[in-house]
């Protein structure tokens, strides 16, 4: 069983009485976890209060109180590829993430994620990724090591002050009729929720796409996301008629199946460039992962 090394936190909602028992609240808030499992966790002292003390079945519900627990999964998948540390100083760490590895815990993954691997490797429990890339995507991820400067690096992404360049290999039965596109549209969550879609309305997603050559029935592209919506580049390139090789979501959602490590999504976060908000120096990093 995989048990997270990092506690998760849930805040009890502020509602008028009568209040449920904590067990009733947890079972309702997390319907994918059986009620009996929550009862077992409470009996085993695995749900803690704000002081770090285990709660019991008799612990009263207190609005706005926080509870801490450690996520558990029966069989956590093992990702057989290693990350690489590209750069590290007192404020940041830049890592090169392999395909299939999530950046942070979620779903079936509690310890098999970039964040926890880097914490274990460096001994830095306060390491926090400043941004995310898809689990299926390989490439560069910027992490903060210093809480005092963390907001400065968050601002780089919030205000578009960091240049991100991706490379992709896509299906291209016919040669592209252009060599450069600016794609602007509105992306929202679809159904199922992990799959995004475009809808009419105010633009919230912008990308620049450049054709970089063709071999056989496939073409290479360089992409620069100007915004950071989930699956933005995958959706934008597919919308141009060039679905990324081994993309299981776009343009057609494929049936769920185990990861095929021999067929990674052909998308990599190739470069990060920015003016460092602490040192003032120009920073540039490049991924070592190659596309087939």
User: In tens digits, what is the pLDDT along the chain, a chain of 292 residues?
Assistant: 678 888 889 999 999 999 999 999 999 999 888 999 999 999 999 999 999 999 999 999 999 999 999 888 888 999 999 999 999 999 999 999 999 999 998 888 999 999 999 999 999 999 999 999 999 999 999 999 999 999 999 999 999 999 999 999 999 999 999 999 999 999 999 998 889 999 999 999 999 999 999 999 999 999 999 999 999 999 999 999 999 999 999 999 999 899 999 999 999 999 999 999 999 999 999 999 999 8
DSSP string, 49-106: -TTSPBP-TTPPP-TT-EEEE--EESSPPP-----EEEEE-SSEEEEEEPTT--SS-B
Q: Is the dihedral of CA 229, 233, 238, 239 positive or negative?
A: positive
Question: What pLDDT score does 274 carry?
Answer: 98
Q: Domain limits of the chain?
A: 2-73, 84-286
Q: Which CATH architecture has domain 84-286?
A: 2-Layer Sandwich (3.30)
pTM, to two decimals: 0.86
Give pLDDT, residue 6. Answer: 83
Looking at domain 2-73, its CATH architecture is Roll (3.10)
Helix-, strand-, coil-residue percentages of the chain, each rounded to 5: 15, 35, 55
Dihedral sign for Cα 224, 227, 232, 235, please.
Answer: negative
């Amino acid at each position: 069983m995989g048990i997270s090394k990092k506690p998760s936190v849930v805040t009890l909602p502020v509602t008028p009485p009568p209040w449920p028992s904590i067990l009733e609240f947890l079972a309702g808030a997390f319907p994918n976890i059986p009620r009996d499992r929550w009862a077992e966790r409470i009996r085993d002292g695995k749900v803690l209060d704000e002081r770090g003390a285990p709660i019991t079945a008799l612990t009263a519900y207190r609005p706005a109180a926080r509870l801490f627990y450690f996520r558990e999964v029966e069989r956590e998948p093992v990702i057989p590829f290693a990350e690489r540390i590209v750069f590290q100083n007192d404020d940041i760490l830049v890592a090169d993430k392999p395909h299939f590895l999530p950046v942070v815990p979620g779903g079936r993954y509690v310890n098999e994620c970039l964040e926890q691997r880097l914490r274990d490797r460096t001994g830095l429990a306060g390491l926090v990724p400043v941004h995310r890339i898809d689990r299926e995507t390989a490439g560069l991820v910027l992490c903060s090591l210093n809480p005092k400067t963390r907001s400065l690096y968050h601002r780089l992404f919030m205000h578009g002050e960091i240049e991100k360049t991706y490379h992709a290999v896509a299906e291209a039965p016919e040669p592209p009729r252009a060599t450069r596109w600016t794609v602007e549209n509105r992306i929202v969550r679809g159904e199922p929720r992990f799959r995004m879609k475009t809808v009419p309305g105010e633009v919230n997603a912008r990308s620049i796409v450049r054709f970089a050559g063709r071999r056989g029935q496939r073409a290479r592209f360089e992409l620069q996301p100007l915004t950071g919506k989930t699956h933005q580049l995958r959706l934008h390139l597919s919308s141009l008629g060039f679905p990324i090789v081994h993309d299981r979501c776009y343009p057609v959602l494929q049936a769920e199946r185990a990861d095929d490590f021999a067929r990674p999504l052909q998308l990599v976060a190739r470069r990060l460039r920015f003016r460092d908000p602490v040192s003032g120096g120009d920073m540039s990093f490049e991924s070592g992962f190659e596309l087939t």
